[in-house]
Every structure is written in C-alpha cells, then in structure tokens.
C-alpha cells in the first residue's frame, strides 16, 4: 500500500511538472499562475503547494529535469575533455551532439530564460548553471595549459554565449540558415577561442 501511495504521489508531481511546462510554453512563465497549473492538472492549489512551495520551486524541479536530459546524451564526451584535446573534429562533434538535444530541451530552456527575467531566484539558478559550464571549459583549458590563464574564463564565456544564443534562436525561430553551415561556423569560432592551434 505504501508503495502504491508513493507511486501516486510521484505521478501527481510529474503531472504538475509536465502541465506547468506546457503552460509556460503556451502562455509564458509570467503569464502562468499556480492556480492555472493546478486547474490544468485537474487538481487544486492546495495540492500544488503540497508538492511545491512556490512556482519558483517548481521551476527548480524543471531545471533538475533539464540537467538529467542533458546528462543522458549517449556517447557524449565530457566538455572539459573535449576542450583539453582541443581539436576541431572533437569540438564539432560535441557541438553537433548538443544541437541534437535542442528539440527535447526546448521547453525547459525557454521557460528557464523567461523565468530568469522575472524571478531573481531562477536567474541565480540559470547563472549558476552557466558558470558551471564555463568552469568545465576552464578546467579543459587548464589541463591543456592553453592560452593565458587570465583569458580562459572569458574565452569560455564567449564560447558558451555563442552556443546559448544560437540554441535559443533556433528554439524560437528554427533554422533560418543551413544547419550544417551554422554549426560549422560555431565550430570554427569555438576552435579559435578554445582549441589547440595545431589541431
């Protein structure tokens, strides 16, 4: 019986998360209230608060789901290892693998960025995630001993900003150019910013 109750609780929690994600995509984070989520999920405000103390807490749970989705990339090399080696083919393969995840992560990313614009706690979460990815890039450059130490974080920031902007542009508008060309240009830029000069 306890096992059944736990499974039902998890089903309700997942329903609230998936309903919220759908509403954030359709109406935007700012345009979606706790009452909207509860009603669309076929439950009540009281039930919502039994699972999440706030809309921000729900957004944090969606961020955890996003992290899990990103970690599930099959055969994906660790970013720090890719940067450490620094060859163009490895960088290009990593970027291509990331771009293949965009359809699955699209609603999470767009909701997170919209929420970050109006919710300081979510903004801090997005900033921490962004900094974590930059830390991986810096770790790769540190191991490789490539570029002046004082430039490594800026190089990581510039590279990640390009990827983030291209990804979010695709998520909102689709490819407005040939995808192979866009990814090739991004690979070229990342190789210039992060790669080994003889690679």
- Report, as an integer, the average pLDDT of 96-116: 93
- 18: its two tokens: 């998936």
User: What pLDDT was estimated at residue 76?
Assistant: 63
Average pLDDT over residues 46-64: 94
Which domains occur in the chain, in start order? 2-52 (1.10.10.60), 63-194 (1.10.357)
The confidence band for 6, taking pLDDT boundaries of 50, 70 and 90, is confident
Q: How many CA atoms lie within 13 A of 166 on its CB side?
A: 24
Work out the average pLDDT over 26-35. 93
- The confidence score (pLDDT) of residue 75 equals 55
CA-to-CA separations, 83 to 12, 31, 142, 163, in angstroms, rounded:
41, 40, 10, 15
Give the least confident one: 63-77, 156-170, 176-190: 63-77
CA-closest candidate to residue 19, choices 45, 35, 41, 52? 41
Q: Does the pLDDT at position 199 exceed 60?
A: no
For the chain, how far is it from start to end, CA to CA, in angstroms? Answer: 60
Predicted pLDDT of residue 196: 86
pLDDT at 182 over 80: yes
Would the pLDDT of 115 be above 60? yes
pLDDT at 17 over 70: yes
Q: How far apart are CA 10 and CA 12, in angstroms?
A: 5
Q: What is the pLDDT of residue 159?
A: 98
The mean pLDDT value for 61-78 works out to 80
From 68, 66, 54, select the one nearest 16 (Cα to Cα).
54
Q: Is the pLDDT of residue 51 over 90?
A: yes
pLDDT band at 74 (very low <50, low <70, confident <90, very high): low
Average pLDDT, the chain: 92
| Residue 1 predicted with pLDDT over 90 | no
- Token pair for 83: 């940067």
């Amino acid at each position: 019986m306890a096992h059944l109750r736990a499974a039902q609780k998890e089903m309700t929690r997942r329903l609230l998360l998936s309903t919220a994600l759908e509403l954030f995509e359709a109406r935007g984070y700012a345009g979606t209230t706790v009452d909207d989520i509860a009603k669309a999920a076929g439950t009540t405000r009281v039930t919502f608060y039994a699972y999440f103390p706030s809309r921000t807490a729900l957004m944090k749970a969606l961020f955890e789901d996003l992290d899990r989705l990103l970690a599930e990339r099959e055969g994906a090399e660790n970013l720090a290892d890719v940067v450490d080696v620094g060859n163009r083919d490895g960088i290009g393969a990593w970027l291509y693998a990331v771009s293949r995840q965009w359809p699955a992560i699209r609603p999470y990313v767009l909701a997170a960025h919209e929420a970050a614009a109006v919710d300081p706690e979510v903004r801090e979460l997005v900033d921490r995630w962004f900094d974590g990815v930059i830390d991986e890039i810096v770790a790769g450059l540190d191991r490789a001993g490539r570029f002046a130490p004082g430039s490594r974080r800026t190089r990581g920031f510039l590279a990640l900003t390009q990827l983030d902007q291209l990804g979010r542009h695709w998520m909102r508008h689709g490819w407005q150019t040939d995808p192979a060309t866009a990814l090739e240009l991004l690979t070229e830029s990342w190789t210039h910013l992060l790669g080994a000069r003889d690679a």
